[in-house]
Amino acid sequence: MKTEKKWYAIYTKPRWEKKVDATLLKKSINSWCPLQKVERQWSDRKKIIEEPLFKSYVFVCIDEEERLKVLMTDGVLNFVHYLGKPAVIKNEEIETIKQYLSEEDAKVEIISSEGFKEHTKVKVKHGVFMDNDGIVLRGGKKKVYVQLLTLGQVMVVEFPAEYLSLIK
């Protein structure tokens, strides 16, 4: 009897995200390492590279029987835990990230949520994050910080402030 497959986040060794993702896929495990295109400057040229969106994180959609197979993969350190259990990531959160990354000129910056204090609850009125509630943790004229609670991360998404409305 197969159990239901759920999304989990796993910790990887630093800079092993792509290798772990490729190895898991070879093992027939549904794995996803979100990548974004970033321009890097070398002394002699500029180059567009794909780098992991979440440093030291890879997502896997697995059932209970596949957990050990994931943990025994070279480069995998552990599952991300929440309240003593591996944290389950909602399908909607995975789909929102995938949808946003598929947009042209999508730009996301990830910052640890430690040290930030909660401020104002907002609802996004436009774009792929439309109808999502979030907490503005810090912001300027263009950047709004939206917290993904299951990851303990803050997603920095650039869009105009008029795309937001206050939740009362």
User: Would you identify the CATH topology of the domain 6-89?
Assistant: Alpha-Beta Plaits (3.30.70)
Alpha carbon 129 to chain centroid, angstroms: 14
Model confidence over 1-50: pLDDT tens digits?
567 899 999 999 999 999 999 999 999 999 999 998 888 888 898 888 88
- The pLDDT, as a whole number, for residue 96 is 86
Q: Please report, for the chain, the start and end positions of each structural domain, with discontinuous segments joined by +.
A: 6-89, 108-166
pLDDT in tens, 151-160: 556 666 666 6
Q: Cα 46 to chain center, whole Å?
A: 26
Q: Which residue has the higher pLDDT, 52 or 115?
A: 52
Q: Is the pTM of this model over 0.75?
A: no
Q: Are strands 30-32 and 88-89 parallel, antiparallel or unpaired?
A: unpaired
Residue 149, amino acid:
L
| 37: Cα separation from own chain's centroid | 15
- Angle 76-78-81 from CA coordinates, rounded to 5°: 145
- The mean pLDDT value for 75-87 works out to 92
Instruction: Please give the structure tokens belonging to residue 36.
Output: 């974004």
* The most confident of 62-66, 81-85, 123-127, 135-139, by mean pLDDT: 62-66
Class of CATH domain 108-166: mainly beta
pLDDT tens-digit map of 121-134: 676 666 766 666 67
Sole residue written with tokens 């439309």? 130
pLDDT score of 110 more than 90: no
The DSSP bridge pattern shows strands 88-89 and 143-148 to be unpaired
- In 3D, which of 24, 4, 151, 150 has the Cα closest to residue 64? 4
